Structure 1
Amino acid sequence: MLDVDVKLDLGAFRLDVAFDEGAGITALFGPSGCGKSLTLSMIAGLMKPQQGFIRLDGEPLVDVEKGIFVPPHRRRIGVVFQEANLFPHLSVRRNLLFGRWFAPRREREIDFDAVVETLGLGKLLQRRPGRLSGGERQRVGIGRALLSCPRLLLFDEPLAALDMARKLEIMPLIERIRDDFRIPMVYVSHAVEEVVRLADRVVVLQAGRVRSIGEPNAVFGGGTQALDDRFEQSSALDVVVSDVDEAYGLVALKHSSGVIWTTAAAGPPGRRLRVVVRANDVVLSNAELVGVSPRNMLTGSVKAIDVKGPLALASVALDGGEELAALVTRKAVDELGLKPGARVFALLKTTALDDRLTAG
Structure 2
Amino acid sequence: MLQVSVRHAFEGFTLDASFEAPPGVTVLFGRSGSGKTTIVNAVAGLLMPDEGRIAAGDWVLLDTAKGVRLPPHRRRLGYIFQEGRLFPHLTVAQNLAYGARFAPKDAPREDRGRIVDLLGIGALLDRRPGALSGGEKARVAIGRALLSAPKLILADEPLASLDEARKAEILPYFERLRDEVAVPILYVSHSASEVARLATTVVALEAGRVTGQGPAAEVLGDPGVLPAGAREAGALLTARVVRHHEDGLTELDAGGAPLFLPRVGQAPGASLRLRIAAHDVIVSRGRPEGLSALNILAGHVQEIRPGGGPGVIVAIDTPAGRVLARITRRSAEALGLAPGAAVHAVVKTVSVAPSDIGASAAASVPAE
Alignment TM-score, normalising by the size of structure 2? 0.92
Q: Which amino acid aligns with 2:48?
A: K
Name the residue aligned to 2:345: 346
Name the residue aligned to 1:272: 271
* Alpha-carbon offset, residue 255 of structure 1: 2.2
Q: Which amino acid aligns with 1:103?
A: A
- Secondary structure of the structure 1 residue equivalent to 2:6: strand
- Secondary structure of the structure 2 residue equivalent to 1:32: coil
Q: Is the 8 A contact 2:88 2:130 kept in 1?
A: yes
* Alpha-carbon offset, residue 257 of structure 1: 6.8
Name the residue aligned to 2:22: 22
Name the residue aligned to 2:50: 50
Name the residue aligned to 1:290: 289
Q: Is the 8 A contact 1:17 1:210 kept in 2?
A: yes
Name the residue aligned to 1:82: 82
Q: Which amino acid aligns with 1:256?
A: G
CA spacing shift, 1:222–1:283, aligned 2, 3 Å: farther
Once residues 9 and 256 of structure 1 are traced to their aligned partners in structure 2, the CA distance between those partners, rounded to angstroms, is 46
Q: Is the 8 A contact 1:218 1:224 kept in 2?
A: no
Name the residue aligned to 2:170: 170
User: How many residue pairs align between the two structures?
Assistant: 358
1:302-337, CA deviations, whole angstroms, 9 ceiling, x for partnerless residues? 2232344432222212246x3221111233223222
Q: Is the 8 A contact 2:178 2:198 kept in 1?
A: no
Structure 1 unaligned runs (5+)? none
Q: Is the 8 A contact 2:211 2:225 kept in 1?
A: no
1:337-358, CA deviations, whole angstroms, 9 ceiling, x for partnerless residues? 2222221111100110013431
1:244-283, CA deviations, whole angstroms, 9 ceiling, x for partnerless residues? 21x1121122223732111242523333221111111111
Aligned-pair identity in percent equals 42
Once residues 62 and 273 of structure 1 are traced to their aligned partners in structure 2, the CA distance between those partners, rounded to angstroms, is 38
Once residues 32 and 275 of structure 2 are traced to their aligned partners in structure 1, the CA distance between those partners, rounded to angstroms, is 21
1:232-247 paired onto structure 2 within 5 Å: 232-245=232-245, 247=246
* Alpha-carbon offset, residue 108 of structure 1: 5.3
* Alpha-carbon offset, residue 177 of structure 1: 2.1
1:54-104, CA deviations, whole angstroms, 9 ceiling, x for partnerless residues? 113422111111111111111111010111011111111111111012112
Moved more, 236-245 or 144-153: 236-245
* Alpha-carbon offset, residue 222 of structure 1: 4.9
Name the residue aligned to 1:147: 147
Moved more, 101-110 or 185-194: 101-110
List structure 1 segments (4+ residues) > 4 angstroms apart after TM superposition. none
Once residues 334 and 95 of structure 1 are traced to their aligned partners in structure 2, the CA distance between those partners, rounded to angstroms, is 60
* Alpha-carbon offset, residue 196 of structure 1: 1.1
Moved more, 309-318 or 113-122: 309-318
Structure 2 unaligned runs (5+)? 360-368
CA spacing shift, 1:156–1:140, aligned 2, 3 Å: same
* Alpha-carbon offset, residue 24 of structure 1: 0.9
Once residues 108 and 100 of structure 2 are traced to their aligned partners in structure 1, the CA distance between those partners, rounded to angstroms, is 8
1:76-115 paired onto structure 2 within 5 Å: 76-107=76-107, 109-115=109-115
- Secondary structure of the structure 2 residue equivalent to 1:54: strand
Moved more, 199-208 or 270-279: 270-279
CA spacing shift, 1:222–1:70, aligned 2, 3 Å: closer
Name the residue aligned to 1:13: 13
1:186-210, CA deviations, whole angstroms, 9 ceiling, x for partnerless residues? 1110111111111110000111111
Q: Which amino acid aligns with 2:343?
A: V
Name the residue aligned to 1:4: 4
Once residues 68 and 11 of structure 1 are traced to their aligned partners in structure 2, the CA distance between those partners, rounded to angstroms, is 25
Once residues 196 and 240 of structure 1 are traced to their aligned partners in structure 2, the CA distance between those partners, rounded to angstroms, is 16
Q: Which amino acid aligns with 1:2?
A: L
Once residues 304 and 152 of structure 2 are traced to their aligned partners in structure 1, the CA distance between those partners, rounded to angstroms, is 41
